[in-house]
Structure 1
Amino acid sequence: MSKNLIKHGNSLALVIDKPILELLQITADTPLELTTNGDVLLVTPVRDKRRQRKLEASLEKINQKFSDDLQRLAE
């Protein structure tokens, strides 16, 4: 997808389409982190660290319990 920046006062703005916002569960109140390597701009929603740790722990349990089955499904 290609986007153009729009003028917003003395700044430029990037408009993110609604389907992308819904997919990433981003609202107007979601804080966003901007990072760059000097060539690429990455916009990442800031998530609750506790929530992220719970998700990672759950994924680890699933992988431990079902890794063989998941591997077979991936083939």
Structure 2
Amino acid sequence: MIKRLTKHGNSLALVIDRAVLELLKIDKETPLEISTDGQSLVITPLRDTDQNVTFKEALESVNTRYGRALKRLAE
């Protein structure tokens, strides 16, 4: 598939076809990591792994339970 950039205000945009978005399960809320090796542009959707979800839940629980005490300790 060959694509061209389109003008979007003062920037350029790459429009991704709906079929590709659906194949990769990407929507407007999906965070994307953009990297390059100097010659190629790589766009990768970031996915929450089970480990990340578990960590976020545990962190939220600790902050809810001990947030004030941790804040006082930090001061």
Partner of 2:41: 41
Aligned-pair CA distance for 1:51: 6.6
Aligned-pair CA distance for 1:10: 0.6
Structure 1, unaligned runs of 5 or more: 53-75
TM-score (norm 2): 0.65
Corresponding residue pairs, total: 52
User: C-alpha distance in 2, partners of 1:51/1:24?
Assistant: 21
User: C-alpha distance in 2, partners of 1:21/1:28?
Assistant: 10
Name the SS of the counterpart of 1:2 in structure 2: coil
Aligned-pair CA distance for 1:33: 0.4
Partner of 1:20: 20
User: C-alpha distance in 2, partners of 1:21/1:6?
Assistant: 18
Name the SS of the counterpart of 1:39 in structure 2: coil
Name the SS of the counterpart of 1:35 in structure 2: strand
**Residue 10 of structure 2 aligns to which amino acid in structure 1?**
N
Aligned-pair CA distance for 1:7: 0.3
**Residue 12 of structure 1 aligns to which amino acid in structure 2?**
L
Bigger CA radius of gyration: 2
Q: Let me know the Cα RMSD of the aligned residues.
A: 1.5
